């Protein structure tokens, strides 16, 4: 009897493990139609390892490739800066200025205080400190981004949709076809001119939904420090994901 159903192959794992000594490193495997060879990369923001392989490549070859480069993986992972949890005594940048987090008893939320270094005093239950500080930072980011967006849209004479903040690892900002603008709240940790650049970048998309030379001329008109901000993000942007 001829079977009417084709036996399907077992699904391939999306993650493999690479061992070096006593350490184990998870590696996410992605099949890409555009890939012509096996490549490895360490994503700083996500703090993980990704192996890209041709769509019809061999998983066994991918495993061997990852094992061969175990030393490289260990070295790159080891170079990543350690995460900084929002906790009493930790240091966190605010507008690129290092602040020390201090828990305070009593009612309240978060209060910046002058000092050397300056302090972010977080009030309330110590168990709620990470959430309270994150919420406060998100509010600060949204307030400053809304102000920057308003300033740039008025300069262009265009209107924008809702402005929101998220915690995205792949992009710092986005502009939808409806004019809604979204940004990473972590921009409040960066220098103010970087936040201003991202606002100018997305506002420019309200007029030029592309990255053409005309778009970049418009962006540089709104934010003269565009190139400086782009360079800062390239060098330091991934490090903002360490915090919290």
Q: Does residue 1 have a pLDDT over 70?
A: no
User: What are the structural domain ranges in the chain?
Assistant: 15-79, 128-242
Domain 128-242 has CATH 3.30.2010.10: yes
Q: Does residue 239 have a pLDDT over 70?
A: yes
Q: In angstroms, rounded to a whole number, what is the distance separating the alpha carbons of residues 66 and 42? A: 12
Q: In angstroms, rounded to a whole number, what is the distance separating the alpha carbons of residues 161 and 146? A: 11
- Measured between alpha carbons, how far apart are the two ends of the chain, in Å? 61
Whole-prediction pTM:
0.74
Of residues 66 and 24, the one with the higher pLDDT is 66
Beta carbons of 123 and 110 less than 8 angstroms apart: yes
pLDDT for res 169: 81
Q: In angstroms, rounded to a whole number, what is the distance separating the alpha carbons of residues 237 and 45? A: 9
- Backbone φ, ψ for residue 12 (5° rounding): -80, 145
26-53 pLDDT, tens digit per residue, is 999 999 989 999 999 988 767 789 999 9
The band of 5, judged by pLDDT with boundaries at 50, 70 and 90, is very low
pLDDT for res 101: 97
Q: In angstroms, rounded to a whole number, what is the distance separating the alpha carbons of residues 122 and 99? A: 12
Q: Return mean pLDDT, the chain.
A: 90
51-109 pLDDT, tens digit per residue, is 999 999 999 999 999 999 999 888 888 777 678 899 999 999 999 999 999 999 988 88
> Per-residue pLDDT averaged across 148-163, rounded?
96
How crowded is the C-beta side of 77, counted as CA atoms within 13 Å? 18
Least confident of 66-80, 110-124, 135-149: 66-80
Sheet holding 15-20, edge to edge: 15-20, 23-32, 48-54, 39-43
In percent, how much of the chain has pLDDT > 70?
A: 94
> Per-residue pLDDT averaged across 125-143, rounded?
96
Q: Does residue 180 have a pLDDT over 50?
A: yes
Long-range contacts of 109-115 (CB under 8 A, 24+ apart): 109/135, 109/136, 110/136
Q: Residue 92 has what DSSP assignment?
A: E
pLDDT for res 10: 47
Q: Does residue 164 have a pLDDT over 90?
A: yes
């Amino acid at each position: 009897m001829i079977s009417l159903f084709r036996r399907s192959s077992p699904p391939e794992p999306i993650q493999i493990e690479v061992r070096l000594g006593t350490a184990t490193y998870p590696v996410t495997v992605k099949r890409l139609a555009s890939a012509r060879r096996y490549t490895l990369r360490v994503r700083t923001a996500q703090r993980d390892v990704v192996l890209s392989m041709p769509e019809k490549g061999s998983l066994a070859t991918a495993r061997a490739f990852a094992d061969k480069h175990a030393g490289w993986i260990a070295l790159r992972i080891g170079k990543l800066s350690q995460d900084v949890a929002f906790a009493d005594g930790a240091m966190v940048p605010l507008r690129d200025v290092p602040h020390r987090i201090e828990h305070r008893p009593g009612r309240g939320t978060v209060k910046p205080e002058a000092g050397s270094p300056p302090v972010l005093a977080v009030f309330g239950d110590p168990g709620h400190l990470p959430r309270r500080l994150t919420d406060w930072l998100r509010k600060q980011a949204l307030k400053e981004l809304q102000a920057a967006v308003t300033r740039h849209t008025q300069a262009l004479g265009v209107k924008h949709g809702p402005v929101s903040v998220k915690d995205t690892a792949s992009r710092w900002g986005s502009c939808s076809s409806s004019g809604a603008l979204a940004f990473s709240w972590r921009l409040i940790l960066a220098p103010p001119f970087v936040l201003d650049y991202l606002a100018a970048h997305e506002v420019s998309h309200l007029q030029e939904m592309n990255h053409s030379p005309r778009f970049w001329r418009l962006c540089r008109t709104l934010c003269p420090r565009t190139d400086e901000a782009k360079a800062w993000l390239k060098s330091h942007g991934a490090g903002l994901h360490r915090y919290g």
